[in-house]
Amino acid sequence: MLGRLSLVLSVALPLLLATSIAGASPFVFTAIPDEDETRLQQRFQKVADYLADELEVEVRFVPVKSYAAAVTAFRNDQVQLAWFGGLSGVQARQRVPGSQAIAQGVEDPDYKSYVIAHRDSGLTPVEGDSAPEALRGLTFSFGSKSSTSGRLMPEYFLRNDFGAAPEEIFERVGFSGNHSRTISLVASGAYQAGVVSYKAWENEVAAGNVDTDAVQVVWETPPYPDYQWTIRGDVDARFGDGFSERVQQALLDMDDPALLESFPRSGFIPVDNDDYEIIHQVGQQLDILD
């Protein structure tokens, strides 16, 4: 009898455990679509696999169509972790009390944007903290309306330097949706100038996706804090005590160059919500945040 019971348990317990694991909620994350969506899926699936191994839970990456959609997915608990820009991270944390910024790239405390221009615009590269006066009167493309490096901070610097809103500085203002599209629009001549994340620019140039005979960097903005990982405050209740700290440690321990290239970053360092107070203040000044 005892032998039969042992046999039953030896068969049943693995099945019960498998059923339990299969029925457990997956840990889901997303990332703002700052570049082409197909490439985002390729980039972040590797990160999902890494986190699954480190956390010993099912991890899924879910792409979104826009910056606003990333914030909405986080607010609605469709994702529990997100790779946000500075502004979208502040927006998400406002909507989900208790959520925390837990890691940023080594490069993110001193992020910057590049103003790029078509060669036919007549602009030439300039150095210094002030935007070139020759931008005035050109057509100009920002990225997403919720992008820190493609809209918020460049607009803040432009307003300070020109003493006017973008609509008063430029002949025509557009919003491309992401950095890759901004580069394409300026390279094609659809806009004479635009602004992009310096990382996105360097990534696209390295990939051979930029016609540098047609478009060039003409100005570099002053630095500001940008991208970060933000996690919901209720993950410990769902995945167990200390889970958020385990997620943070897994991100900080990420040292595989192939994984870090997905961002691209040289590594991750700890961060907290207070480090993005300047983004919150500028967002309020520009009436983007409550």
- Kindly report the CATH number assigned to the domain that includes residue 140: 3.40.190.10
**Which has more pLDDT, 42 or 111?**
111
List CB contacts of 197: < 8 A, sequence separation 6 or more.
Answer: 34, 111, 113, 114, 143, 147, 149, 150, 179, 226
What is the average pLDDT across 119-140? 95
Residue 13 lies in a domain: no
- The yes-or-no verdict on residue 121 having pLDDT over 60 is yes
Task: Assess contact for 230 and 102: CB atoms under 8 A.
Answer: yes
Residue 5 lies in a domain: no
Do 182 and 249 lie in one domain? The reply is no
222 burial type by CB count under 10 A (0-12 exposed, 13-18 middle, 19+ buried):
middle
| Domains held by the chain: number | 2
Do 54 and 183 lie in one domain? The reply is no
Q: Tell me the residue range of the domain where 99 lies.
A: 25-108+225-285
- The yes-or-no verdict on residue 20 having pLDDT over 60 is no
Residue 99 lies in a domain: yes
Give the chain's end-to-end CA distance (angstroms, integer): 69
Do 201 and 247 lie in one domain? The reply is no
Distances (CA, A) of 107 to 122, 162, 199: 31, 28, 9
Alpha helix stretches (DSSP H) within 56-197: 67-75, 86-95, 153-162, 166-169, 179-188
State how beta strands 59-61 and 215-220 pair: unpaired
Do 176 and 230 lie in one domain? The reply is no
CA distance 248 to 257: 18
Q: What is the pTM of this model?
A: 0.84
Residue 6 lies in a domain: no
Residue 69 lies in a domain: yes
Look at residues 194, 220, 246 and tell me which one is the last residue of a structural domain.
220
Do 117 and 101 lie in one domain? The reply is no
Look at residues 170, 195, 220 and tell me which one is the last residue of a structural domain.
220
Do 102 and 236 lie in one domain? The reply is yes
Do 137 and 194 lie in one domain? The reply is yes
**Confidence band (pLDDT; 50, 70, 90) for 7?**
very low
Do 157 and 211 lie in one domain? The reply is yes
Residue 129 lies in a domain: yes
Do 197 and 54 lie in one domain? The reply is no
Do 198 and 116 lie in one domain? The reply is yes
Residue 96 lies in a domain: yes
Look at residues 202, 220, 238 and tell me which one is the last residue of a structural domain.
220
CA distance 198 to 96: 29
Rg (CA), the chain: 22
- Name the residue with tokens 């498998």: 18
- Name the residue with tokens 């909405």: 72
Lowest mean pLDDT of 22-31, 84-93, 197-206, name the range.
22-31
